[in-house]
Structure 1
Amino acid sequence: MSQLPRLRSQFRLIAIIGATLILLEIINLITLNSLNSLGIMPRYLPSLWNIITAPWVHQTPAHLIANLLPLLLFIWLTLQWGNKTFVKVTLTVFLLAGLSVWLFGRSAVHLGASGVVYGYFGFLLWAGFKTKKIPYMIISVLVAILYGGLILGVLPGREFVSYEYHLFGFAAGLLAAWRWGATSTV
């Protein structure tokens, strides 16, 4: 696939994800946060399926805005490893981070894309070095320089921030990098 159609395809996917997140936030606002019930409630069996829905719903527009730019950027960067690797990384992060929050998280509703952001963050930090290819190593170094402060988010801090989702997402991303980071399309 030549670079221009590949880039168009990637940006189309990113635009669809961004528009979907914004649309869901508008619906959540209109329905007075009714979609928040799609968040993960640890160890509550009916909430187990919410490991798939929780990253799509945000508590407030500010919560969405805080997640949107790094999410879309990290999606695009992860896509540089190819579509198959991107899908594997995304599924690993969604399932492993969500299941870990469901099993070990505090008793609260955990929602938002930050767990996925941290998953891609973990993947991008390590995967570039796994490839041993300069373009990917540059991605890892730039992510570390520009977003390295995110690592503090895996520590307990603010009461209404799910550090568990951050921690488990990051760990899932590292696991995905260990497993699939060496595969690339360049």
Structure 2
Amino acid sequence: MAAGAFMLSWVVLMWLLEAIDGPAGPIVREYGIQPRDLDEVLDIFPAAFLHFGWDHVMANTVPLLIFGFLAAVRGLARFIGVVLVIIVVSGLGVWLTAPDGSNTAGASGVVFGLFGYLLVRGFVERDALDITVGITVLLLYGSILWGVLPTAAGVSWQGHLFGLIGGVLAAFWLRRTPQRRAVRGAPGGIGPSPWS
């Protein structure tokens, strides 16, 4: 399945980058997000794939695989749009609000963004299956919401919070139109939503 292959490739890329760079190596030091420096603003994109050590990349791997697969199974083109919205909102949020002298990197902003996207997508699109997915994700992983609070030193709660916001925004900005939902109910489709 394309969604599974895409997410596995993403995770392999993160692990390869960590293997090349090592913990807090020169790549993550160069391409992490350093706040309010105009020369660094485009680093919001590579920073989402870089990590500060194996524990960091391992902590993001499983939720990224699960949330990414659940979001990407609806279509890779739309999923890529969702991820870009999350990276931009999360990255700019970190760039604007992180403490001076900090360096932020990691996929956790994307993880929180995909979590937020899955939570609200079904309600935005009035799709019973996606609502069920969102509720299931909330029941199984809802405790990660504590990560948007400034409770742990050295953890970018800003990236988590703005990632979550980016995921919710993406659910609204990139929602399927009523015409696209109707196509799903056409012969050979996967069936109409009862709330379409």
Whether TM-score is above 0.5 comes out as: yes
Q: Residue 127 of structure 1 contacts residue 182 of structure 1 at CA under 8 Å; is this kept in 2?
A: no
**Alpha-carbon distance between aligned partners in 2 of 1:161 and 1:32, rounded to the nearest angstrom:** 14
1:52 is aligned to: 45
Q: CA deviation at 1:84?
A: 2.9
- Of 157, 162, 167, the residue aligned with 1:173 is 167
Runs of at least 5 residues in structure 1 that lack an aligned partner in the other structure: 1-6
1:23 pairs with 2:16: yes
Q: CA deviation at 1:182?
A: 4.4
**Alpha-carbon distance between aligned partners in 1 of 2:125 and 2:155, rounded to the nearest angstrom:** 33
2:86 is aligned to: 93
Please list the CA deviations of residues 35-59 of structure 1 after superposition, one character each: whole Å capped at 9, or x if unmatched.
2221100001221111001111110
**Alpha-carbon distance between aligned partners in 2 of 1:166 and 1:181, rounded to the nearest angstrom:** 22
Write out the 4+ residue segments of structure 1 that deviate beyond 3 Å after TM superposition: 181-186
Q: Residue 123 of structure 1 contacts residue 181 of structure 1 at CA under 8 Å; is this kept in 2?
A: no
Q: Residue 28 of structure 2 contacts residue 51 of structure 2 at CA under 8 Å; is this kept in 1?
A: yes
Q: CA deviation at 1:177?
A: 1.2
Percent identity (aligned): 34
Choose between structure 1 and 2: higher helix proportion.
Answer: 1
Q: SS where residue 56 of structure 1 aligns?
A: coil
1:76 pairs with 2:69: yes
Please list the CA deviations of residues 155-175 of structure 1 after superposition, one character each: whole Å capped at 9, or x if unmatched.
001110000000000011111
1:129/1:182 CA distance change after superposition, 3 Å: farther
1:14 is aligned to: 7
**Alpha-carbon distance between aligned partners in 2 of 1:55 and 1:35, rounded to the nearest angstrom:** 12
**Alpha-carbon distance between aligned partners in 2 of 1:16 and 1:10, rounded to the nearest angstrom:** 10
Structure 1-normalised TM-score? 0.89
**Alpha-carbon distance between aligned partners in 2 of 1:67 and 1:169, rounded to the nearest angstrom:** 14
Q: SS where residue 142 of structure 1 aligns?
A: helix
**Alpha-carbon distance between aligned partners in 2 of 1:48 and 1:113, rounded to the nearest angstrom:** 17
Q: Tell me whether 73-82 or 112-121 shows the greater mean CA deviation.
A: 73-82
Please list the CA deviations of residues 2-29 of structure 1 after superposition, one character each: whole Å capped at 9, or x if unmatched.
xxxxx2x222211211110110010111
How many aligned positions are there? 178
**Alpha-carbon distance between aligned partners in 2 of 1:181 and 1:120, rounded to the nearest angstrom:** 14
Q: Which has the larger radius of gyration?
A: 2
Runs of at least 5 residues in structure 2 that lack an aligned partner in the other structure: 185-189, 191-196
Q: CA deviation at 1:68?
A: 0.6
For 2:47, give the aligned amino acid. Answer: A
Structure 2-normalised TM-score? 0.85
Q: SS where residue 93 of structure 2 aligns?
A: helix
- Of 27, 36, 39, the residue aligned with 1:35 is 27
**Alpha-carbon distance between aligned partners in 1 of 2:24 and 2:108, rounded to the nearest angstrom:** 22
1:152/1:19 CA distance change after superposition, 3 Å: same
